[in-house]
Structure 1
Amino acid sequence: MPAPRKKPATAVAAKKAAKKAPAQTPANRIADKLARLGLRSDIDKVLHLPLRYEDETQILHIADASRAFGRPVQVEGVVTACEVAFRPRRQLVVTIADDSGPLTMRFLNFYGSQVKQLAEGNRVRARGEVRHGFFGAEMVHPTYKMVNEGAPLPTGLTPVYPAGEGVSQAILRKTIADAMARLDWHDTLPEALRTAHDLLPFEPAVKLLHNPPPDISEHALADRSHPAWTRMKFDELLAQQLSMKRAQEARRAKGAAVLNKVGSLSQAFLQQLPFKLTSAQQRVLQEIRHDLQQPYPMQRLLQGDVGSGKTVVAALAAAQAIDSGYQAVLMAPTEILADQHFRKIAGWMEPLGINVAWLTGSLKVKEKREAKERIETGVAQLIIGTHAVIQDDVQIPKLGLAIVDEQHRFGVGQRLTLRNKGVGDGTATVPHQLMMSATPIPRTLAMTYYADLEVSVIDELPPGRTPIVTRVIDQNRRDEVIERVHAAALEGRQVYWVCPLIEESEALQLQTATDTHAALSTALPDLRVGLVHGRMKPAEKQETMDAFTRGDVHVLVATTVIEVGVDVPNASLMVIEHAERFGLSQLHQLRGRVGRGSAASVCLLLYQSPLGPVAKERLRIMRESTDGFEIARKDLELRGPGEFLGARQSGQAMLRFADLETDQWLVERARDAAQQLLHNDPATVEAHLARWLGSREDFLKV
């Protein structure tokens, strides 16, 4: 018989330690749950403002409540029956009654303690929507409390707070009330500032939101237009502006390489371009050149619509860094996009004697080692690649400029790693940084979340770009679309056919692309149909892309890997299947793959009926506008700021109270006030940031 196995010493020690550890008290357990909601300090709790309000100031007779459909009502009655039923599923069914009749309360999820609590003869006050059930009027999962006969009603609206698991409204109300009794209510805003912007003092504004008086406008509270909400929004926006601007000042206090030489490379680069820069490109280039000549790091966002010519401006910025004796790096989020940049920029730079290195994760070991040696010895003056350029084992000794394309698709940590590569000769600590985005950012969003950046906008397309006509077509007319694809190919044009984005399953998306490729190959036997998707090996993907660029492939079936960066002037027809599944920004990016040559270009948006209201609105906007800034503004209205910000705000909650669409006027006031306070009142700045951000201010410094 084998000897019993001994438990590892560490496991035994852990068990003994667990026995010795004191059990958590109920108060500690509640504190832990509140901490998970971000409620640690008194000010955290006081600023945990209501999500909505419930009117518990009146009670309806049950008979009257039965006629009040579609809105929550409150009733009171005595329990006449309470039983656990098992058909059609286990549930607690409670009947209460008043003088006007009975009402059933039905709980599909319940605790054993509720059965005892709701025993016959007990008086209940319940609130919810009444509906007609099989046995008459009923409420499903109403909120309720046990009361004595004649218990007083609230005199004002009852706040309902954002809650978490195991944290009831009763716990939150008591926690917040206790914190309010302890809080130092000093106002962080000077009286002159409050008067100038017609703002309520802090204490009465907060107390009103937690305990609304009986005569208050319920509508003004619900839509957050009440002056008390205005004060909260202003304070929140001001804290964000102050933090962003202070982060900007902190960056400016750091040293950077002075890239002040616009020399022979920059001049030769401009002269050999087969086109002339637009006035918008020239204006933006001058803004960047000025920044690069400063002794503090540039932090500039370069944005422009699809096809506006951001790449050549970035290349000219890199030329200035190289002219000044430093290295430049360009990092792109996908290998396809990085490869497009490499081919285009290397095509411009290498004939001028510039050594350009290519670095991605898919390179063979020997190729990667050789590329890293060229970078680390300073032989490579320009490095283009994907995330591989920020790996720990990649040293860039004289990094003067870091360019990040489609910056919102990189995480905070990735961009910081690139920035912290620094310059190794001791003359500077942080490289200049140029971030590019082909998703135009609405002005309000830029003012709020990018307040710490300088923003350059290329608001003009190069001459010769043909307007893109957009058509919205029902999926039932797919055969007509295939005929149109065939006709375009016979005229010598090339076609993109983008497969639907299926968020739930990458495997399903791949299958859709594969099936579409097979179906089009069968339907168009005289054409060459290529396929590109995210699961292909980089070499296979590149081979297909090269064939499409050369014109050897007539129709390219693709997933959204071709969303940005692909530039084939001969492609003039774009078909986007199940367009209703895409966001506005993505549809606009995809559409921008055509219209790059002289031929009239068309984008066909295939959709599956029936369409929901949001999808219908998105397709309408796409049909009516090709202006990326207008589309971005509409996208902000439909989806909020998250899509534009990407990982930039990782670790930080979006604005809790202010709404960037309806509160634009407040954003502008907060920005101006922040500027004045930073220059004239540092004590107010410190006090306001401590109250509103505390330790979270670091999240905004990325």
Structure 2
Amino acid sequence: MGAVESPRGWPGVGSQLAARLARLDLRGPRDMLLHLPLRYEDETRLTAIAAARPGFPAQVEGEVVGAEVVLRPRRQLVARISDGSATLVARWLNFYPSQQKQLAPGARVRLFGEVRGGFFGDEMVHPRVRSVLPGEALPAALTPVYPTTAGVGQATLRKLVDRALQTEPLDELLPADWLQRLGLPAFSDALRALHHPAPDADPHALESREHPAWQRMKFEELLVQQLSLRRAYLARRARAAVPLRARARLTAALLDALPFRPTGAQARAWGEIAADLAAAHPMQRLLQGDVGSGKTLVAALAMLQAAENGWQAAMMAPTEILAEQHWKKLSAWLAPLGIDVAWLSGSRRKRAREAELARLASGEVLLAVGTHALIEDPVMLPRLALAVVDEQHRFGVRQRLALREKGDEGRRPHMLMMSATPIPRTLAMTHYADLDVSVLDELPPGRTPIRTRLAAEGRRDQVIARMRAACLGGRQAYWVCPLIEESEALQLQTAQDTYAALVEALPELRIGLVHGRLKNDEKSATMAAFSAGELDVLVATTVIEVGVDVPNASLMVIEHAERFGLAQLHQLRGRVGRGTAESECILIYAQPLSETGRARLKVIYEHTDGFAIAREDLNIRGPGEFVGARQSGVPLLRYADLDADAALIEPARELAEHLLSHEPAVAQALMTRWLGGREALLRA
């Protein structure tokens, strides 16, 4: 990172230091106020060297009895410190000439660090060192330790924080009755308590962030996130979109033609979406439902509501297999109604692709399905009024925005985002507060529950025998190969090896192989053969995670299940149990299992409800990773924890609504305090 100019109004900070502080997102004195300590060190007392316990941090004070630069086994500064009770060795592998001077024999110093047993007795490696006068007073409070980056020392951060506490306004922006209701301290009191804890402060409450001062800062942070998302919601409501009235012509025809009745949850979600589409401002709705809950039908009805108004609708899916599956399903439903669906993917031959592009650009075709090829430059959708994004968490903000920008410049298309990864309520309230949410919480009738079994790697032969029995009984099976993050080539090799081993072990069965490196027409041919019942077993990498629907497949084997995330395991398991046959998912795992691996397998074994799995997943992984927050556009939470601080979310949302309606200047001041000029709205 190149040097930047010292920000105006930040005296005493040169360009080099400013560039380093910018890495911590600290760009002025105001930011220092909210740069809160990670932890605290107790420098309020001294420990006699003889009483210092190995493995624990301690502060000792004594006289330097010797110091020298030793060249073996590597160049280092070694000093011996004595306090009369014992002598301690201190070593620095990286040191400055000024440190050598500081450690001249006879000098009095205080060292803070962890004591450990060394070759020459007890020692500290890289302790913090400070010159002191005999009898010099100890600090009266705990010493804060701040998040830092290379080239920025704790002393620098403490100095900048202290200066900001003296010079920056510490205005109280929250209403007094709310502080009283929630039992929270004033802003200035909370800040001082965190940066300079009182001598009698409870160190455990500070470390665990349960101290009232921490509660105050976490509540204000959640409040600012709610304000930011709520403003995004209100800004969207102020924009124009094409109102798509519910004419119930094509939509009614599709519902009449279906061989099944929609579930109550589908009917409810469709009612909410139909009403949104009829509004003159853009819909922004998340449709979440478990694997197999029927999201595609609801999306098809939404797309038909656009078509019966003479406008275009496009559905974008993250993988070729899923997009093609959607296209085939929509085409089968809509062709009898005289509705053509365009199909766009990066792998289509040039002539076919250009023909589809021309039909879409002319407005001749109103409905399109595709991969991210839909958002590439040559794709013209001049009458786009509805964009549907499936598995929306798999796309970045920019990709979702790019699809939205395809519409008429003056009007925004309505957005329907779908996810089979259910979002726990606390997460939906914080990360999706600017979306309306519809939930499909019931499965279509006739679905059989899936039994999940765990098998250690040594029981592979029994799993193969189970697969033979299922396939000879007229059923089909999947065998999913492990996820190998480090190397796609290695993953491919594993899939090919597994395929060869199963062909050898099961000569009486017809076995196919599908993976990401196959040409798309080969992939499609293999999938079509499996769907048609011409293959008994499909060996696959995770390309089949979503969108594959073969009702006769009743057995799913997932190898090295401990390498997969919970959402992925749940998605893969959802590929079976789609017909009336009793279905089974066998998770093969390798020993030894990590703590996280064991926790995941326990959750997937004990739960089939996607919402319960999502709640457990949130506990295991944390919110940022769960929603891909780093690319979601939501202001990330630095201090609040969605699980531990769930009780603060509802009042934060309530106060955000009140401030935006009645005290917008206060709302703006809060956002300026926390976000400065960096308000990141969830715009996609």
| CA distance in 2 between partners of 1:415 and 1:281 (Å) | 24
Matches within 5 A, 1:59-458: 59-65=46-52, 68-111=53-96, 113-423=98-408, 429-458=411-440
| CA distance in 2 between partners of 1:129 and 1:629 (Å) | 44
| CA distance in 2 between partners of 1:560 and 1:144 (Å) | 54
| CA distance in 1 between partners of 2:104 and 2:510 (Å) | 76
Q: Which runs of 5+ in 2 are unaligned?
A: 1-11
Aligned sequence identity (%): 60
| CA distance in 1 between partners of 2:129 and 2:232 (Å) | 48
Contact 1:408 1:647 in 2 (8 A): no
Residue 115 to residue 474, structure 1, CA distance change in 2 (3 Å): farther
Residue 248 to residue 136, structure 1, CA distance change in 2 (3 Å): same
Q: Is 1:28 the counterpart of 2:15 in the alignment? A: yes
Residue 563 to residue 83, structure 1, CA distance change in 2 (3 Å): farther
| CA distance in 2 between partners of 1:500 and 1:401 (Å) | 37
Contact 1:54 1:159 in 2 (8 A): yes
| CA distance in 1 between partners of 2:486 and 2:129 (Å) | 38
Contact 1:305 1:628 in 2 (8 A): yes
Give the C-alpha shift of residue 620 in structure 1. Answer: 1.0
| CA distance in 1 between partners of 2:171 and 2:629 (Å) | 35
| CA distance in 2 between partners of 1:106 and 1:184 (Å) | 43
Q: Is 1:480 the counterpart of 2:480 in the alignment? A: no
Residue 564 to residue 112, structure 1, CA distance change in 2 (3 Å): farther
Give the C-alpha shift of residue 135 in structure 1. Answer: 1.9
Could you say which residue in structure 2 is the equivalent of 1:57?
44
What are the Cα deviations for residues 647-667 of structure 1, in whole angstroms up to 9, with x where unaligned?
A: 674566520010000111100
One-letter amino acid matched to 1:143: R
| CA distance in 2 between partners of 1:392 and 1:223 (Å) | 50
Q: How many residues align?
A: 673
Larger mean Cα displacement after TM superposition, 531-540 or 661-670: 531-540
| CA distance in 1 between partners of 2:487 and 2:74 (Å) | 32
Q: Is 1:593 the counterpart of 2:575 in the alignment? A: yes
What are the Cα deviations for residues 200-248 of structure 1, in whole angstroms up to 9, with x where unaligned?
A: 1111111110000001101111111111111101111111111111111
Give the C-alpha shift of residue 262 in structure 1. Answer: 2.9
What are the Cα deviations for residues 107-132 of structure 1, in whole angstroms up to 9, with x where unaligned?
A: 34445554444343333322222222
Which secondary structure does the structure 1 equivalent of 2:342 belong to? strand
Residue 119 to residue 552, structure 1, CA distance change in 2 (3 Å): farther
Contact 1:439 1:644 in 2 (8 A): no
Contact 1:411 1:647 in 2 (8 A): no
Give the C-alpha shift of residue 700 in structure 1. Answer: 3.4
Could you say which residue in structure 1 is the equivalent of 2:6?
none
Q: Is 1:509 the counterpart of 2:491 in the alignment? A: yes
Which secondary structure does the structure 2 equivalent of 1:698 belong to? coil
Contact 1:76 1:123 in 2 (8 A): yes
What are the Cα deviations for residues 285-313 of structure 1, in whole angstroms up to 9, with x where unaligned?
A: 10001101111000000000111110111
| CA distance in 1 between partners of 2:69 and 2:491 (Å) | 46
| CA distance in 2 between partners of 1:701 and 1:77 (Å) | 59
Contact 2:431 2:634 in 1 (8 A): no
Which secondary structure does the structure 1 equivalent of 2:79 belong to? strand
Give the C-alpha shift of residue 628 in structure 1. Answer: 0.5
Contact 2:228 2:681 in 1 (8 A): no
| CA distance in 2 between partners of 1:628 and 1:157 (Å) | 45
Larger mean Cα displacement after TM superposition, 78-87 or 99-108: 78-87
Give the C-alpha shift of residue 84 in structure 1. Answer: 4.0
Matches within 5 A, 1:599-610: 599-610=581-592
| CA distance in 2 between partners of 1:581 and 1:77 (Å) | 52
CA RMSD of aligned residues (A): 1.7
| CA distance in 2 between partners of 1:337 and 1:83 (Å) | 68
Give the C-alpha shift of residue 147 in structure 1. Answer: 2.7
Following superposition, which runs of at least 4 residues in structure 1 exceed 6 angstroms of deviation? none
Which secondary structure does the structure 2 equivalent of 1:129 belong to? strand
| CA distance in 2 between partners of 1:692 and 1:643 (Å) | 22
Residue 312 to residue 58, structure 1, CA distance change in 2 (3 Å): same
Contact 1:649 1:700 in 2 (8 A): no
Q: Is 1:555 the counterpart of 2:542 in the alignment? A: no
| CA distance in 1 between partners of 2:98 and 2:563 (Å) | 46
| CA distance in 2 between partners of 1:136 and 1:251 (Å) | 67
Larger mean Cα displacement after TM superposition, 70-79 or 85-94: 85-94
Could you say which residue in structure 2 is the equivalent of 1:576?
558
Could you say which residue in structure 2 is the equivalent of 1:682?
664
| CA distance in 1 between partners of 2:630 and 2:66 (Å) | 56
Residue 519 to residue 105, structure 1, CA distance change in 2 (3 Å): farther
Give the C-alpha shift of residue 31 in structure 1. Answer: 1.4
TM-score, normalized by length of structure 2?
Answer: 0.95
Contact 1:408 1:644 in 2 (8 A): no
One-letter amino acid matched to 1:451: A
What are the Cα deviations for residues 503-560 of structure 1, in whole angstroms up to 9, with x where unaligned?
A: 2222222222122112112211222222222222222221211111112222211111
1:38 counterpart (25, 28, 33): 25
Larger mean Cα displacement after TM superposition, 414-423 or 620-629: 414-423
What are the Cα deviations for residues 114-164 of structure 1, in whole angstroms up to 9, with x where unaligned?
A: 444434333332222222222211223333333333222111111000001
Give the C-alpha shift of residue 679 in structure 1. Answer: 1.6
Which secondary structure does the structure 1 equivalent of 2:347 belong to? coil
Contact 2:64 2:108 in 1 (8 A): yes
Larger mean Cα displacement after TM superposition, 564-573 or 692-701: 692-701
| CA distance in 2 between partners of 1:261 and 1:650 (Å) | 32
Contact 2:47 2:59 in 1 (8 A): yes
| CA distance in 1 between partners of 2:90 and 2:490 (Å) | 43
What are the Cα deviations for residues 73-96 of structure 1, in whole angstroms up to 9, with x where unaligned?
A: 111222333344455444443322
Residue 87 to residue 569, structure 1, CA distance change in 2 (3 Å): farther
Which secondary structure does the structure 1 equivalent of 2:105 belong to? coil
One-letter amino acid matched to 2:153: S
| CA distance in 1 between partners of 2:604 and 2:97 (Å) | 55
Which secondary structure does the structure 1 equivalent of 2:680 belong to? helix
TM-score, normalized by length of structure 1?
Answer: 0.93
Contact 1:410 1:647 in 2 (8 A): no
Contact 2:450 2:584 in 1 (8 A): yes
Which secondary structure does the structure 2 equivalent of 1:695 belong to? coil
Give the C-alpha shift of residue 501 in structure 1. Answer: 1.3
